[in-house]
Structure 1
Amino acid sequence: MDKAVPARLHVLIARESRTAVVLRRGPSNLVCTMGWNLNDDSFRLGQWLKGRIYERRSDLSPDGRHMIYFAKRRSGPTNAWTAISRAPYLKAEALWFKSDSWDGGGLFTSNSSYWFNENPNNGLHRFEFDNSHLQMDPYFPGSKRLDPYIARIQRDGWKLKNVEKAEGLHVILAFDKPIDERWTLRKLLHGKVTGRPRNKDHRNRGTSFDEHLLLDGHDKAPLDLPEWEWADVDGQRLLWAEAGKLFSAQISDKGLTSVRELHDFNPMSFEPIEAPY
């Protein structure tokens, strides 16, 4: 019997407040949002969606109050859309429909403004309404037009180091974020234009996914952490997602210490929830 596929997790962290939103996916056509209080590691359920949220085109405002995301259902005349909601919920305060899954989503440039990810060459969104009281910023939040995910992680402190590998259409970009004077967290961004990743161990991760390494500044071999599908640095601790669960740990000369499981997202199942606004 095949082993059950764990929930897939991605986290959007507010860069000016101690809040985050967890995007929990699984099965493939179901996703839900969870608010995360980083002060006490408590969680509260947002809403479920029968569809897909593209985490690499989503973002959280600096104060953690709003979320912008791109979503898609399997079928229907309005099966794809970009929305702005009140985090951690999905109910749209601003909404644009789209007929395909190119582009979409965006990035926050401040608590009151956002950049909208749209390329006229890939088909335009159809505006529906905007009650968010936020302003659309025409300028991309960076020195040049990048993939929204790359722009987001660079904005949040990740530094591009190099292209790790390039096999055919499969490219891996390496980004580093220092933890302390000795340790660095490396994020490997896998991207592929078409087809599935080359490694059978990645069969459940789609064509774009992340892996991670811990680099030891004392010239020791890096610690390979291929099961960490998301990870980031939170002050003096590490946070990561693995096998449908969130973990935290401290880091010392010996490596990871005081490892804690913060939440197991695997037992969750769909339930209809109305946003409180």
Structure 2
Amino acid sequence: MSSPPTKCTLYPVFAAASPRAVIYRRGPSNQTCLIAWDRSDDTFAVGQWFKGSVKPSWGGLSPDGEWLVSFLGKYRGPFATWTVLSRPPYLTAAALWPKGDTWAGGGFFLSNDTLVLTHGEGPYDTAPGSAPPPGLTVLPFTRATAPGLTARARTAPAANRWHPDPEAPGSWILAGPQGHARIRSISEFTADPLRSLPESVRHSLCVEGGPPVPLPVSGWAAFDGNGDLLFSQGGKLFRLGADRLGGIASTETLLDRARCLADFSDLRFRPLAAPYAAPRVETEAGFTPALDRVSREDRQRRRQMRKASERTDRAP
């Protein structure tokens, strides 16, 4: 008997100057799989899994889609949380910056060769034995550098740039490339215009001359460069052609018109080594930086320390 589909969500991130995209497929809890998506022909390549916390909206692709910056965490080991530069659809580090908390983290690209690391006031040092690839400039996003970098980011190429909705406080608007369609998003979070819009609670499609049409709850939505509407429902990814956006009055009609590109609901964790990584054995824990692994001896030593501390506390 086959296993039932896993409850999951999809969060794609686009490259600004390429049809490349990466999908963060999340589910079950604390398991994320990267999926490469070529939007020119809607083909997909299932990549690496990670067991831990991932914040998709805190990272992004380089404009050409060659590099991915992501913020990850396991909340243990010497790193706890970190920002990683990798080649999609893998999370194996080409460069890694330890963070240690979630007050800030991740980054975004100004160009193919310029990465802004958003670690606030720090730290900004790479992990021992880790360094950015040759030719990549890494800039810190601190209080001193933020104004200049923000101005540069607003003029840099960007995919799916959201703007505050003047008609509805707390909402955000994404305009389609042809101008007659918009996506309105109501989010529980404060959106950062320098990054992707955080996962939204509700989206609606707004087409001139028609009523707002709710998109699937807690899904994702954006426009492709040709004006097609792209959206998700659970583990399914849909495309609705730009020429078919008009005259839709309900979510049911929208789903009937849309074409399902893929259903990733039945994916299950599998170890997968990145082709550019040094040879090593992947474990069922998924990718974790080698320096962040907790050995059996570490766990035994910590247990012994806890027991010794408990005995001391109980002593009269």
* TM bracket, shorter-chain basis: 0.7 to 0.9
**Equivalent position amino acid for 1:142 in 2:** T
**Equivalent position amino acid for 1:143 in 2:** A
Aligned twin of 2:184:
186
Distance 1:241 1:153 in 2: 25
Residue 240, structure 1, aligned to residue 231, structure 2: yes
More strand by share: 1
Deviation at 1:135, TM superposition (A): 0.6
Deviation at 1:264, TM superposition (A): 1.0
Compare 221-230 and 266-275 and name the one that shifted more: 221-230
Distance 1:227 1:45 in 2: 25
From the superposition, tell whether residues 54 and 181 of structure 1 become closer, same or farther in structure 2 (CA, over 3 Å). Answer: closer
Deviation at 1:262, TM superposition (A): 0.9
From the superposition, tell whether residues 163 and 84 of structure 1 become closer, same or farther in structure 2 (CA, over 3 Å). Answer: farther
Deviation at 1:5, TM superposition (A): 6.5
- 8 Å Cα contact 1:160/1:176 also seen in 2: no
**Equivalent position amino acid for 2:112 in 1:** N
Distance 1:231 1:126 in 2: 35
Match of 1:142, SS state, is: helix
Distance 1:52 1:152 in 2: 29
Cα deviations across residues 217-265 of structure 1 (Å, max 9, x unaligned)? 22x3211225252111111311111111111112343234741111111
Match of 1:95, SS state, is: strand
Residue 124, structure 1, aligned to residue 123, structure 2: yes
Aligned twin of 1:221:
211
RMSD over equivalenced CA pairs, Å? 2.9
Structure showing greater radius of gyration is: 2
From the superposition, tell whether residues 144 and 161 of structure 1 become closer, same or farther in structure 2 (CA, over 3 Å). Answer: farther
Distance 2:45 2:157 in 1: 25
Residue segments in structure 2 that go unaligned for 5+ positions in a row: 191-197, 249-253, 277-316
Cα deviations across residues 164-223 of structure 1 (Å, max 9, x unaligned)? 45xxxxxx332231353532222333217xxxxxxxxxxxxxx963421111322x3211
Residue segments in structure 1 that go unaligned for 5+ positions in a row: 166-171, 193-206
Aligned twin of 2:193:
none
What percentage of residue pairs aligned between the two structures are identical?
31
Match of 1:253, SS state, is: coil
Aligned twin of 1:20:
21
Aligned twin of 2:35:
34
From the superposition, tell whether residues 15 and 145 of structure 1 become closer, same or farther in structure 2 (CA, over 3 Å). Answer: closer
From the superposition, tell whether residues 73 and 20 of structure 1 become closer, same or farther in structure 2 (CA, over 3 Å). Answer: same
Distance 2:216 2:151 in 1: 31
Aligned length: 248
Aligned twin of 2:150:
142
Match of 2:151, SS state, is: coil
Match of 1:190, SS state, is: coil
Aligned twin of 1:159:
163
Distance 1:152 1:79 in 2: 32
Aligned twin of 2:220:
230
Aligned twin of 2:265:
266
Residues 45-56 of structure 1 mapped to structure 2, 5 A cutoff? 45-56=46-57
Distance 1:54 1:77 in 2: 20
Runs (4 or more) in structure 1 with deviation over 4 Å come to 138-141, 151-155
Deviation at 1:26, TM superposition (A): 0.8
Distance 1:155 1:276 in 2: 28
**Equivalent position amino acid for 1:233 in 2:** F
Deviation at 1:66, TM superposition (A): 0.0
Aligned twin of 1:75:
76
- 8 Å Cα contact 2:216/2:232 also seen in 1: no
Distance 2:247 2:158 in 1: 29
Match of 2:57, SS state, is: helix
Match of 2:187, SS state, is: strand
Q: Normalising by structure 1, report the TM-score.
A: 0.79
Distance 1:178 1:29 in 2: 33
**Equivalent position amino acid for 1:177 in 2:** A
- 8 Å Cα contact 2:185/2:204 also seen in 1: yes
Compare 17-26 and 94-103 and name the one that shifted more: 94-103
Q: Normalising by structure 2, report the TM-score.
A: 0.70
